[in-house]
């Protein structure tokens, strides 16, 4: 089972490297959205410090949603998804491998990119550190919850719009706790409760979402 999981992750990472333009587009989308906000609100540092964490989290959520259609669509189009699910390995295990690969090419780069963006918004060392940590804990939940929407809308016309409508309500708690952790640090309070809730959301999604996604994929393929 471990070798099957690693094989799925390796396969999806190799495909992402061959289509690195799609990966770079997601990261570029994140950076552009965050960079446009200071142009709209002005250069006042007090305002930028206040809106910075929320802006980064909203941009991370939108970038994650943008990347969701390619999570299963390409494998579905060439028939390889059905073959993978019929391989005899647990479907939830295959799903975990694909979501892990998706996070490595979307969530992880976004988390790293948040370091210079925190400097751009001048949020300070402690809030910036909390911002990066909150993204590290919360972006796996974005990938897991987003994959549910991607599986439910697989093969449907206009699936991208439906994914957005399905995923946004599910990810609102992640957004609230992620931005709230940074705001708490900036206000001199402890970010621990919000970070623990973020970690709990990711762990809970990791325990439950793969089974729901595997079921949704089987329904979509029938």
Q: The tokens of 185 are what? A: 């640090």
Segment 82-93, tens digit of pLDDT: 787 777 778 888
The pLDDT tens digits of the residues spanning 122-173 come to: 888 899 999 999 999 999 999 999 999 888 888 777 666 788 888 888 899 9
Q: Where are the domains of the chain?
A: 2-221
d(CA 96, CA 82): 16
What is this structure's pTM?
Answer: 0.90
Q: Which two tokens mark 184? A: 């708490």
Instruction: Report which DSSP code applies to 42.
Output: -
Q: How many other β-carbons are positioned within 10 Å of the β-carbon of residue 33?
A: 17
Indicate the SS3 state at residue 153: coil
Across the chain, the runs of DSSP E, i.e. the strands, are none
46-82 confidence digits (pLDDT tens): 888 888 889 999 999 999 988 887 788 777 777 777 7
* Percent helix / strand / coil, the chain, rounded to 5: 85, 0, 15
Q: Which is it for the CA torsion 11, 13, 14, 19, positive or negative?
A: positive
């Amino acid at each position: 089972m471990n070798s099957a999981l690693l094989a799925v992750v390796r396969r999806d990472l190799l495909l992402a490297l061959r289509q690195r333009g799609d990966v770079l587009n997601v990261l570029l989308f994140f950076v552009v959205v965050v960079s446009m906000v200071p142009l709209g609100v002005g250069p006042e540092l007090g305002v930028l410090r206040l809106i910075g964490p929320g802006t980064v989290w909203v941009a991370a959520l939108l970038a994650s949603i943008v990347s969701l259609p390619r999570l299963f669509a390409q494998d579905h189009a060439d028939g390889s998804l059905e073959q993978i699910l019929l391989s005899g390995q647990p479907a939830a295990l295959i799903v975990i491998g694909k979501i892990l690969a998706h996070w490595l090419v979307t969530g992880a780069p976004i988390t790293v990119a948040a370091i210079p963006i925190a400097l751009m918004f001048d949020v300070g060392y402690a809030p910036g550190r909390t911002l990066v940590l909150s993204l590290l804990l919360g972006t796996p939940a974005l990938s897991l919850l987003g994959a549910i929407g991607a599986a439910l809308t697989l093969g449907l016309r206009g699936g991208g719009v439906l994914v957005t409508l399905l995923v946004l309500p599910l990810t609102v708690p992640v957004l609230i706790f992620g931005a709230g952790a940074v705001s708490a640090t900036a206000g001199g309070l402890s970010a621990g409760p919000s970070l623990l809730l973020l970690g709990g959301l990711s762990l809970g999604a990791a325990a439950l979402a793969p089974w729901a996604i595997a079921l949704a994929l089987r329904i979509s393929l029938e």
